[in-house]
Amino acid sequence: MSVTIGELARALDAQAWGDLSLPVIGAAEPSGAGPVGADGGVIALAMAPKYAETLQPGCMAILAEGMDPQDYGLKAAIFAPRPRLVMAGLTRAFDPGPDIAPGIHPTAVIADSAEIGEGGAIGPFVVIGEDVRIGPGARIGAHVSIGRGSRLGADALIHPGARIAHGVTAGDRLIVQPGASVGGDGFSFVTPEESGIEEIRRTLGSREGIKQQHWTRIHSLGGVEIGDDVEIGANATIDRGTIRATRIGSGTKIDSLVQIGHNVVIGEDCLLCGLVGVAGSSKIGNRVVLAGQVGVSDNIEIGDDVIAGGASKIFTRVPAGRVILGHPAVKMETQMEIQKATRRLPRLASQVAKLQETVTRLLEKG
């Protein structure tokens, strides 16, 4: 595919400079973008002076505002007022899309009662159960399975090997990366009498007689309800609810290898990064960001707009708007002080030991 740099600038809603008729056929890092040839070329992403150092004369580039294309001998340039936003538009423009051929592959096994909207592309060996409803424009990769009665809105993109169980509903533009599991059973078990976990929650850690008991399964009758514009990462797992559905709000993005427990409710426009775990029945507000490897205990509430730094371990409720960090997670600024003091702790300990000696001597003298 190819557009002129002028067309690209208009699509990105950005200013352009130079020969705007040059054809752009892709994007590259500055070191990978050569001079523009007769058929055009790739556009270099040089949105900060440090990235621009390896730009070659005669090429096209996206620059930050305030950078001068003539300093680098460019033929044409686009100015990015907000570089990552320009990246979004640019990468969308040049994405060839996933590897799913149009139409329904003859090997797909689709229940008679299932309905698939117009323009759907269904890959080889896909399995779609009874009463499934899939909106128009769906692209469903190889080896995907979708269980009985599940419903996906328009323009779903389900990558190869993703597992959507029965009783899952999703809004429009759902993206599911390879191997993700939506609607596996919740991890919910009970012992005939009080279990050790229940005991230590009641006693805050102490234990009486330990009994031998087996776990009985609590089945998961609830499904999963997903809003619009949700993305679910590769091999992530979202468990179904027990009685009501596990819920993921519109605009929320979930990274690879994230685990969402049964009955969890997640608000809108959240980001949950890789290897995050949210235990059963917790509730997460809107616009919450959980960085990689964050853990959220069961049955707690995280308010709107909370941001949790990498590997924060959250054991108690967090009020709206708070920025937290650490294990256990506390306010970020408190954590920073704790970390500083902790690094100095061995020194502090020897300082106290010396003080103790001095004071003892003072006492003896006194």
Active-site residues, by number, are: 262
Q: Listing from the earlier edge strand, what are the strands of the sheet with 271-272?
A: 103-104, 121-122, 139-140, 157-158, 175-176, 231-232, 253-254, 271-272, 289-290, 307-308, 323-325, 330-331
Q: Would you state the torsion angle of the CA atoms of residues 46, 48, 51, 52, taken in this order, to the nearest 10 degrees?
A: 60
Least distance between a copy of itself and beta carbon 63 (Å):
15
Looking only at Cα atoms, what is the longest distance across the chain? 97
19 or 185, CB closer to a copy of itself? Answer: 185
Over the Cα atoms of the chain, what is R_g?
28
What's the min distance (Å) between Cβ of 16 and a copy of itself? 20
Which lies closer to a copy of itself via its Cβ, residue 95 or residue 118? 95
Give the angle 303-304-309 at the CA atoms, nearest 5°: 80
For residue 121, the cross-strand partners are 103, 139
For a copy of itself, the closer CB: 7 or 185: 185
Closer to a copy of itself at the Cβ: 21 or 32?
Answer: 32
Nearer to a copy of itself, 21 or 299 (CB): 299
CB 352 to a copy of itself: min, Å: 6
From CA 79, how far away is CA 83, in angstroms rounded?
9
Least distance to a copy of itself, CB of residue 277, Å: 5
Q: To the nearest whole angstrom, how small is the minimum distance from the Cβ of residue 83 to a copy of itself?
A: 9
In a 13 Å sphere around the CA of 146, the CA atoms on its Cβ side amount to 34
Please, are residues 208 and 262 in contact by the beta-carbon 8 Å criterion?
no
